[in-house]
Structures are given as structure tokens and as C-alpha cells.
Amino acid sequence: MQQQIERVALAIALAKRVLVITGAGLSADSGLPTYRGLGGLYNGHTAEGLSIEAALSGPMLQRDPALCWKYLAELGRACLGARANAGHLAIAELQQLKPQCWLLTQNIDGYHRAAGSPPERLIEIHGELAPLFCQSCGAEDAELAEHLERPLPPRCRQCGGILRPPVVLFEEMLPEAAIASLYAELGKGFDLVLSVGTSASFPYIIEPVLRTREGGGLTVEINPGRTDLSDEVDVRLQGRALDVLPELLSHISAQGNCK
């Protein structure tokens, strides 16, 4: 694998435009359970006999905000209980080295921002868990942790309306600004795409990889297990992002001028 890492590091160093795509596997290295492993939350039905997709849906938030928030709180506590890891930090450093390195993430935990990834080159396609905002008056509330210690659903201090996070719930549309940003950058093309810790089950995750490969760019996957993308990429680096990304970065930095 060492030769492959050196090959990818050289390609990144020479590339002008880079896209890093991250999924739950990256944050799993922080101790945050992946989508299907959050305390068994997603492995069947809720105590109410609902699928988790129904409980964590936009319609449920409107119909029964207390029930929806019961499971949003599970997500919130899990995210607040972990921190950005060496993989997040390596990506942030890569973005500092490469002024045209973009980051597309499915994760809602905010760890990329915490690690220092520049917000102007960060596309959070599924939104994030904070800050909360009022569905009635629009006021922002940054105290997610405090609200999780109080009766749910959380209420707006200004008008008493129900608060919600700026996250994409089931049956809700993806944020227009994030989609527009993704396809604007995709239209410019990428020299290299790096898929990290994602099962790549969504079209908007798979498409950048396929389009980049068709355009002659290098496509790379970092994942401990095989995914839907494994047979579509040029290089597969098997391992945890926590281990592979810092090693990649050390080789990239050794290349000298990689802008």
C-alpha cells in the first residue's frame, strides 16, 4: 500500500483542483457511531413502533416535535460527546496547502469546521446540528447542549416557537445553496477526487467520482471495507481515515510546493 500512498500523494501535490468527499466512517474514528450503528437506533424500529426514517422526518417534526426531538437529541448527544480527529485535521491542513481543495461532507457533526476547514470551501450537503433556529420567528440559538438537558422539544427564548437544527431530515430537500455550490464546482472539473469513509450510496456522492474519472482525473477511495465505489475508483487505500490521511499528508507536504 505504501506505493499507492506515494502515488496518490504525488497526484494530489500536482493537482490544482481537488475534491474530498467524507462520510460517517471519518467521524467513526472519533468514536461517533455510523448511521447504522448509533446505539442500535437505526437497526429496526423505535420504541413507538416507527422506523427511524419516519421518526427523524420533516413531517414528524411538524406533527409531533417532541417525538422527533427525542431522536434528534440522540444524535446531538453523540455528536457533542466526540471530537474532530487526525483525519479531520489532515483534511483541513490539505485545504490550507491547496487553495482549490473543496470538501463535500455528508456528516452533520460539525467536526470539519472545528478542525479548521474553511467554511467557504466546505459543502455540508446534509446540513449540521447547530446552531438551532426557531421555525416561527427565525431566531438563532447556539445552545444545543443546554437544550438537550431540558424538556424537549426546545423552545425559542424570544417567541416560544419550536427550535430545530439546520439539518436535512428524512423527506426534506437538500439545501439549495449546497447543491448549487457542488454543481458549480463540479462544472469546473476536478483533477482528483478523494472519497473518505463513505458508503457512497447517494447519486450526488457517486457523480463527482464518476465524472472526474471520465474526465481523466484520478479517483481514490479510503475505507476499511468495500463500498459501491470500490470498483469505480483508480486507487483504493484500505484502512481507517484516521491512519491513512495523516500519512498521505506527510508525503504531500514532502513534495514541497503543492499549490
Residues 178 and 66 in one domain: no
Domain assignment present for residue 248? The answer is: yes
Domain identity same for 111 and 144: no
| pLDDT reading at 259 higher than 60 | no
C-alpha cell recorded at residue 69: 426531538
pLDDT tens digit sequence for 232-248: 999 999 999 999 999 99
Q: Do 178 and 74 lie in a common domain?
A: no
C-alpha cell at 86: 487526525
pLDDT at position 131 over 60: yes
63 is a domain residue? yes
- The domain that holds 89 is classified in CATH as 3.40.50.1220
193 is a domain residue: yes
Catalytic residue among 45, 88, 112, 126: 126
Q: In what order do the strands lie in the sheet with 132-134?
A: 140-141, 132-134, 163-164
Tell me the H-state helices in 58-128. Answer: 58-63, 65-80, 86-97, 111-115
Pick the closest to residue 131 from 165, 175, 167, 107 (CA basis).
165
For the entire predicted model, the pTM comes to 0.92
Is 259 part of a structural domain of the chain? no
CA distance 194 to 92: 14
**What range does the domain containing 146 cover?**
35-81+133-164
Residue at 69 is within a domain: yes
88 classed as catalytic: no
Domain count, the chain: 2
CA–CA separation, 170 and 183 (whole Å): 22
Q: Are residues 89 and 187 part of one domain?
A: yes
Q: Judge if 77 and 88 occupy the same domain.
A: no
In this structure, are residues 198 and 21 in contact, taking their beta carbons and an 8 Å threshold?
yes
Any residues with CB less than 8 A from the CB of 239 and at least 6 apart, and which?
1, 222, 224
- What's the pLDDT score for residue 15? 97
Q: Do 47 and 158 sit in the same domain of this protein?
A: yes
For residues 247 and 140, state if they share a domain.
Answer: no
Task: Say if strands 132-134 and 163-164 run parallel, antiparallel, or are unpaired.
Answer: antiparallel
Q: What is the CATH number of the domain that holds 139?
A: 3.30.1600
